[in-house]
Amino acid sequence: MWYGKGPGVDRCGDVFKHGNAAGTSRMGGVLALAADDHACRSSTLPHGSEGEFESAMMPVLNPAGVQDILDMGLLGWAMSRYTGRWIGFKTIAETVESSASVNVNPHQLDILLPKDFEMPAGGLNIRWPDPPLDQEMRLHQYAVKAAQAFARANHIDKVVVDSPKARLGIVTTGKSYLDVLQALEYLGIDRKVAEEIGIRVYKVGMTWPLEPVGIREFARGLEDIIVVEEKRSFIERQMKEYMYNWEHGARPSIIGKYDEEENWVLPSTNELTPARIARVIAARVQRFFRSEQMDSRLQWIAAKEKELAAPRANFPRVPHYCSGCPHNSSTVVPEGSRALGGIGCHYMVTWMDRKTDTFTHMGGEGVTWSGQAPFTDEKHVFQNLGDGTYFHSGSLAIRQSIAAKVNITYKILYNDAVAMTGGQPVDGTLTVPDIAHRVRSEGVKTIVVLSDDIEKWSDRSIFPSGVEFFDRAELDAQQKRLRDVPGTSVLIFDQTCAAEKRRRRKRGKMPDPAKRTAINSLVCEGCGDCGVKSNCVSVLPKETEYGRKREIDQSNCNKDFSCVKGFCPSFVTIKGGGPRKRKGTGNKELLANLPEPQVRSDLEQPGTS
């Protein structure tokens, strides 16, 4: 199993093409899971990976929910073995970050091998030697059809709602399938009503190559088909290609992103909502069926959207660093300097008042400066680079800066975790001495290490010669020195991610300092210097009868203690104490006696329609 976000799919395009052309083992198989971000919630660009998979000619599976992920995962590996291809597998946050009751019986699926496909001589699996043109021939002439035959044999695409007098068809996939069901519910159209008025719904599990027999059987006799899919018109395009040569009277109209009047009805931008889908479905259904319930639902949807479109105060909720985050300290730049942003939590500094601008793709950190440097009087910039990004591809960025002979200081922010995507460890062994040795091997001569606990690096023999060590309090002075160093220099800022510290302390994997900081509000003058020095969200305003003062949110504090940097007599350090905790409510006995839920025996089994 390969896994990566959409940008990782882009970066691995060459790998996918070579791997898929060569093929998989008869007893092996490859699933390539793409984490797509349709709404750009944690990416620099919104993305969907179907086009990239198709470019590599990898069959693409698109699960609609948790049960689908489990079932289609098993089917995907079986398909990979049978077809000899790598299988693209689309995932999005709405399905991966959800919970569900699922059937995990390992024998619930009866995976079938096609009986209507004849394998070429030698099969489709990997072999050696294998000339590129022979790989291409098998891939184009046989592998695509093998995938379609496998999908057909195992009913990966299926009719989920049918009608003996169907007039309107709805084709959908993945998350959009669940949105379509929600939209029909909004309109008061349940399975019985759909059968009576003539609606047929087709759930596509393999979005490329679209299985032709099933989609043609589904489309026979229909007047209109609506294709509901997020992002670009992927299924819609294939359907139109399949049905182009049908006789005019037998060919249904097909709309998706646009209707017949070129209205953009199901946009390829952002995400589709059940309300928008409901309006598109209703516009087609009302050609042959109307009901008071449907009209009232549409009026309710229109009223809600009008309400949402009304002018209102717009106060954006700007994300910020966690309490005690190392980036609160590490992203500061000296007066007169500026920094460039990159991928990671430290990207948030670009909307703070810290002279940090723009961003780039992973592995491109500093490339923008290489292009600007010859055309400006500015002599030097700092470039923020997370340790996870450094391990991923940031070392290539440092290499290009050295080759370009630009004056730049990379601040490698070593926080010991890939915090942006949940706090998992960096893939592989990566320590501060490792980074120092690697950048020295690339040709970096000036390397400085700063840390919140610099004494832990007392054994300097594990570092390359010439590395300098300072407490993080020396950041400003060291940056002023490094900006005058010609060429590429590296500053490694070593401080563990605050959220990861909190997790490790709770699990007993890291010492929890037996001290806390508090503010005596009677002494505090409310100047706010503690917040300026620490940039910490645990420093809160406190309204008192003497005006606004400051206080420390003890429930949120991660014990970074950078708030005490300012000269302020109002701070109190408490050693050995802790916040007062409330007692539990004592419901343990009630919860222990909860009865087990009854299991229904009439539910249809997964994989059936």
- Give the percent of the chain with pLDDT over 70: 96
Q: How confident is the model at residue 5 (pLDDT cuts 50, 70, 90)?
A: confident
Reading the block at residue 272, the tokens are: 């589709």
Mean pLDDT, rounded, for 388-406: 93
Instruction: Write down the pLDDT at residue 602.
Output: 59
Beta carbons of 79 and 143 less than 8 angstroms apart = no
Beta carbons of 379 and 464 less than 8 angstroms apart = no
Of 29-33, 123-127, 210-214, 412-416, where does mean pLDDT reach its minimum?
412-416
Q: Where are the domains of the chain?
A: 2-153, 158-305, 327-500, 513-575
- Class of the domain covering 158-305: alpha beta
Mean pLDDT, rounded, for 408-420: 84
Coil, strand or helix at 410 = strand
| Residue from 293, 304, 303, 263 nearest 280 by CA | 263
Instruction: Write down the pLDDT at residue 426.
Output: 66
Q: Return the CATH number of the domain spanning residue range 2-153.
A: 3.40.50.970
Residue 338 reports pLDDT greater than 90:
yes
Reading the block at residue 531, the tokens are: 């917040």
Mode of pairing for the β-strands spanning 515-519 and 60-61: unpaired
Higher pLDDT, 359 or 541: 541
Q: Return the CATH number of the domain spanning residue range 327-500.
A: 3.40.50.970
Q: What is the pLDDT of residues 474-509, one digit of tens each?
A: 999 999 999 999 999 999 999 998 888 888 888 998
Instruction: Write down the pLDDT at residue 202.
Output: 97
Coil, strand or helix at 250 = coil
Higher pLDDT, 428 or 211: 211
| Residue from 350, 295, 355 nearest 319 by CA | 350
pTM assigned to the model:
0.76
Instruction: Write down the pLDDT at residue 289.
Output: 87
Q: What is the pLDDT of residues 527-557, one digit of tens each?
A: 989 988 899 999 999 999 999 999 999 988 9
Instruction: Write down the pLDDT at residue 568.
Output: 87
Instruction: Write down the pLDDT at residue 428.
Output: 67
Scan for tokens 């479905």, then name that residue: 281
Q: How confident is the model at residue 3 (pLDDT cuts 50, 70, 90)?
A: very high
Residue 135 reports pLDDT greater than 80:
yes
Instruction: Write down the pLDDT at residue 524.
Output: 93
Question: Sheet harboring 60-61: ordered strands across?
Answer: 2-5, 30-36, 86-92, 60-61, 206-208
| Residue from 560, 451, 550 nearest 513 by CA | 560
Q: What is the pLDDT of residues 52-83, one digit of tens each?
A: 999 999 999 999 999 999 999 999 999 999 99
Cα(253)–Cα(169) distance, rounded to whole angstroms?
10
Reading the block at residue 463, the tokens are: 């570092």
Instruction: Write down the pLDDT at residue 336.
Output: 94
| Residue from 411, 360, 413, 401 nearest 486 by CA | 401
3-state percent helix, strand, coil for the chain, nearest multiple of 5: 35, 20, 45
Q: How confident is the model at residue 608 (pLDDT cuts 50, 70, 90)?
A: very low
Cα(72)–Cα(207) distance, rounded to whole angstroms?
13
Q: What is the pLDDT of residues 424-465, one digit of tens each?
A: 666 666 899 999 999 999 999 999 999 999 999 999 999 999
Mean pLDDT of the chain: 90
The two domains 327-500 and 513-575 share their CATH topology (first three levels equal): no
Q: What is the pLDDT of residues 553-600, one digit of tens each?
A: 998 899 989 998 877 899 999 998 877 777 776 677 777 778 888 877
Residue 609 reports pLDDT greater than 60:
no
Of 68-72, 101-105, 197-201, 211-215, where does mean pLDDT reach its minimum?
101-105
For residue 600, CA distances in Å to 101, 149, 190, 537, 603 come to 13, 35, 21, 49, 6
Instruction: Write down the pLDDT at residue 302.
Output: 86
- Class of the domain covering 513-575: alpha beta
**Rounded to a whole number, what is the distance in angstroms from the first to the last CA of the chain?**
28
Higher pLDDT, 31 or 94: 31
Q: How confident is the model at residue 313 (pLDDT cuts 50, 70, 90)?
A: confident
Instruction: Write down the pLDDT at residue 544.
Output: 92
Residues in the chain: 609
Q: How confident is the model at residue 422 (pLDDT cuts 50, 70, 90)?
A: low
Cα(453)–Cα(432) distance, rounded to whole angstroms?
13
